[in-house]
Structure 1
């Protein structure tokens, strides 16, 4: 029997096998591991589909015999599935081959069953091998399985073109190795991603732990020192009052740090309510007015009416006051102007906070809101980080423009609440 195969169908078989491997990465997701039955079904269809398509579009078909690359999906399904999916794949292969018909259906029953026994015997230890050994073993295995099939054909056709088939199945073995390499690369990348995420979580946990310990220790150390002075020495009333005031201020600072961490842990609105940005700006102006008077900074506000947004009132005020106070501190050494404006633009409410302070470089602007980054000598970076987090939790967007020596502008946009 001749062995002249169609190149187009051969390439089509390659496509059938490689295309489903794109979706293999979803089968190794953590959520999929908790849904075993669903995962088995997905893996079955992932390898059964190319296996069946290969049989319906064979590169060689003659005298009731078909030659294709069906063995590759079968081996992959047995190695990367479990016993249930392996048996389902074998039964599907035999059933579909009988549906196609021809004398080869009975030969396929014998050769596929023998090949399946060989594949299963190797599958138990397969995952303990190195990548090179996996590729080597799978390539040799695909070739051996086809040799079993060729041997069964020689029984009924002594004139079978063994040499051409031999070359065909060597090429098949090369693609078997390629398929294994692709799957192993996907699995390795998934493992590296998981390790990276775990490493990042541990890194963040260590940074937060160190930061909490450092930030809380500073005010507590001050409080402890002044309490010792108050209890161990005789002081005049003025000094007692001064030391007591410092203790209260340091305790308030520690409380503020704790509140910042708590806000960071829950950035999303707890209570959603209709907020009028104009009313909120007026409230923030009243809060900042006393601080601005002490620093000699002028605060100006301007806002349109009916600027309604949906959010958490306390968290909105906290975030805007944090940003505004940073603007006031940026103008500490010179008498500047802090402007807070609000207006409507398309379907958004724009809240603009600008100052005429020292400004920032592009690098400093890009790092705003990052963990533990601050432009202030004694700053923790938590205030700005919390503000950014709270605003984003209310579906807000922040755009920062700054120029050294001229000042900074924060443009915050919120979705407009339509009445």
Structure 2
């Protein structure tokens, strides 16, 4: 029974190695990396099988090499590669009868696996497993019969048990694990695709709703302007409202465009205080309308590298959300803080706050804390812009007390220093 126990130990190593390979593949979403992991698994498995060979006689070495050759050849079309590797390794043990039988047997088998691999992949999961086991049993018989004639019947039971029980068992176990893993991956891809489709549907509904509202309002005032006897003051008022509504629709479109392409094409130095003050001046009427008092606490002059238009778009969305979170009035504090390497921008409101679940989902595409009243694009766009500007976000919130957003950017001097260091490393490498 030594051969059977030897094969069981070898099989356990292949199973353990397979699980390590699956864990490695699980951690990457790159298809090429997954394929390279699979190729590495079959090559290493083949090497392990050759290391743990069982010397039945001086020129006959038995092992489980058929298992990785069968699975790798049928599932991935690696037959020729594994066949050449098998023949090459067997050559190190000597050019005897076993070597030449390996060349003939495994050379033919690996080419056969390679040829039928495309047909094999198109079969159902159950058919693939049954075919693998059947082929393993067939070649197990072909391997065992010559051994019986060469070494006599006293080793027949152990050899037949190893090749007709242990080897097919190994093929079944590895094939089932691969099939179940493949089903899990397909299911996960289906779930991701469904979520994306649902997100697109939500986006379409939300954006159409958000754009339709200002356009409907603008259309109504355009019709009112067609009245010939309307006073001049009313005309100016209505035109101002139309302009405001069109700006609202344009902001939704800009948010969507930025979400689709958040990358910053050109960087420039931005005076944080000047830019924030411009944003505050822009949103002051909205704050007054909601009875929100804006308090600023700026430290010394801080400069960062970024895109002015996207910087404004980001913090207009953040401050607008903060103001809207205080429907009954409140205080919005805007603070800046500087360190030797970073610039910190902090927004603290006294609004309704958010739950832990809302905080965890904040920044997800099309997730809005306003329910059906918002698109969720504002915060998502802000987060994408922050990432594009190499910044970080920290959010803390308490229901009924308010929310604090903290954004950290590299200061302009640190940013330029990093660029210079990168340039130096490039020059050094050249």
Same fold? TM cut 0.5: yes
- Whether 2:171 is the aligned partner of 1:180: answer no
- Whether 2:82 is the aligned partner of 1:89: answer yes
- Per the TM alignment, residue 66 of structure 1 is displaced from its structure 2 partner at its CA by 1.3
- Per the TM alignment, residue 21 of structure 1 is displaced from its structure 2 partner at its CA by 6.9
Rounded to whole Å, the distance in 2 between the matches of 1:377 and 1:135 is: 49
What is the aligned partner in structure 1 of residue 275 from structure 2?
280
Aligned to 1:333, the other structure's residue is in SS state: coil
- Per the TM alignment, residue 283 of structure 1 is displaced from its structure 2 partner at its CA by 3.5
Structure 1 residue corresponding to 2:310, chosen from 309, 315, 320: 315
What is the aligned partner in structure 2 of residue 67 from structure 1?
62
Structure 2 residue corresponding to 1:99, chosen from 92, 98, 103: 92
Rounded to whole Å, the distance in 2 between the matches of 1:30 and 1:364 is: 30
What is the aligned partner in structure 2 of residue 390 from structure 1?
385
Q: Check whether the contact 2:362–2:379 (CA below 8 A) recurs between aligned residues.
A: yes
Rounded to whole Å, the distance in 2 between the matches of 1:20 and 1:363 is: 37
Structure 2 residue corresponding to 1:11, chosen from 1, 9, 12: 9
Aligned to 1:412, the other structure's residue is in SS state: strand
Aligned to 2:264, the other structure's residue is in SS state: coil
Structure 1 pair 176–321 and aligned structure 2 pair: CA distance change class (3 A): same
Question: Superposed, which structure 2 residues align to 1:20-419 within 5 Å?
Answer: 22-23=20-21, 32=32, 46-82=41-77, 85-101=78-94, 102-112=96-106, 115-116=109-110, 119=113, 123=117, 125-169=119-163, 170-231=165-226, 234-237=228-231, 239-289=234-284, 291-293=286-288, 296-334=291-329, 336-344=330-338, 347-370=341-364, 371-375=366-370, 378-418=373-413
Structure 1 pair 14–59 and aligned structure 2 pair: CA distance change class (3 A): farther
Aligned to 1:62, the other structure's residue is in SS state: coil
Rounded to whole Å, the distance in 1 between the matches of 2:282 and 2:189 is: 46
Aligned to 2:296, the other structure's residue is in SS state: strand
Stretch moving more, 238-247 or 129-138: 238-247
Structure 1 pair 304–239 and aligned structure 2 pair: CA distance change class (3 A): closer
Stretch moving more, 57-66 or 233-242: 233-242
Aligned to 2:92, the other structure's residue is in SS state: helix
Q: TM-score, normalised by structure 1?
A: 0.82
Q: TM-score, normalised by structure 2?
A: 0.80
What is the aligned partner in structure 1 of residue 425 from structure 2?
none
Q: Check whether the contact 2:76–2:117 (CA below 8 A) recurs between aligned residues.
A: no
Rounded to whole Å, the distance in 2 between the matches of 1:272 and 1:368 is: 27
Rounded to whole Å, the distance in 2 between the matches of 1:264 and 1:119 is: 48
- Per the TM alignment, residue 378 of structure 1 is displaced from its structure 2 partner at its CA by 4.9
Rounded to whole Å, the distance in 2 between the matches of 1:403 and 1:125 is: 60
Paired residue total: 408
Rounded to whole Å, the distance in 2 between the matches of 1:292 and 1:329 is: 9
Rounded to whole Å, the distance in 1 between the matches of 2:115 and 2:400 is: 75
- CA shift digits 1:96-153 (9 cap, x unpaired): 3243134433444454356557656764542233323322322232222121122222
RMSD, matched Cα = 3.6
Could you list the runs of 5+ residues in structure 2 that have no partner in the other structure? 415-430
Rounded to whole Å, the distance in 2 between the matches of 1:86 and 1:377 is: 56
Q: Check whether the contact 1:139–1:177 (CA below 8 A) recurs between aligned residues.
A: yes
